[in-house]
Amino acid sequence: MRVNGKGFPHKSGRVKSVLFSMVVVLCTISAVACSASNVEQERKIYTRQATDEGIVRAKSQGHGLNGPLIQELDDAFAAKGIKLMNNMSADDGEDGISYMYLLNGSGRHIIKVHIFSDVYTRVARMNEMYGNDGSEAVIENGLGKTTIRSKDYVSLVYTASGGEKDDYEEDVMQIFQHVLEQLK
């Protein structure tokens, strides 16, 4: 049935009003959803949550103040032909972060980089974790050997286990010394 040669049935006015109503409802829903999203974003800004989330994201990706330290560590190991693999990071909840790497993918050789908010926090946390709050320590037991080097707010930890305890030790200690000397 054609009306006026345009192909619309005689009830086209009702169809147009239903379509118009649907468009208005969809636009209203979209506006409300966007509005709720904007309110949530504004809330995060005013409560500092957005900033905190950004800082944690930047730290875990090696950006921010600790980025140059991690890059220096990566470059120093690469220069010795040692790959830092299986990079993992964790925020300590006190404005600090820790990174853990396996040397050349071996679970027997682990490097940990602890970056704390200040010297006092480093001393307290290292004492909690390793039973030592000094700037240098070697902890040996039947399972392996852990060597710690610290300066200012940073602690570098190398743990080697099994029969391969000495494979990387000399290189790792040279790198630790070099990286810690770069701290200002």
One-letter identity of residue 129: M
- pTM for the model stands at 0.66
pLDDT at 13 over 50: yes
pLDDT at 16 over 50: yes
Q: Where are the beta strands (DSSP E) in the chain?
A: 84-91, 97-103, 106-115, 136-141, 144-151, 154-161
115 close to 66: Cβ distance less than 8 angstroms: yes
What is the average per-residue pLDDT within 50-75?
A: 66
pLDDT at 159 over 50: yes
* Range among 28-32, 60-64, 135-139 with highest mean pLDDT value: 135-139
User: For residue range 84-140, what is the model confidence (pLDDT) as tens digits?
Assistant: 998 888 887 787 889 999 999 888 999 999 999 889 999 999 999 998 888 999 988
Decide which of 1.10.3470, 2.40.50, 3.30.200, 3.30.1380 is the CATH code for 62-181.
3.30.200
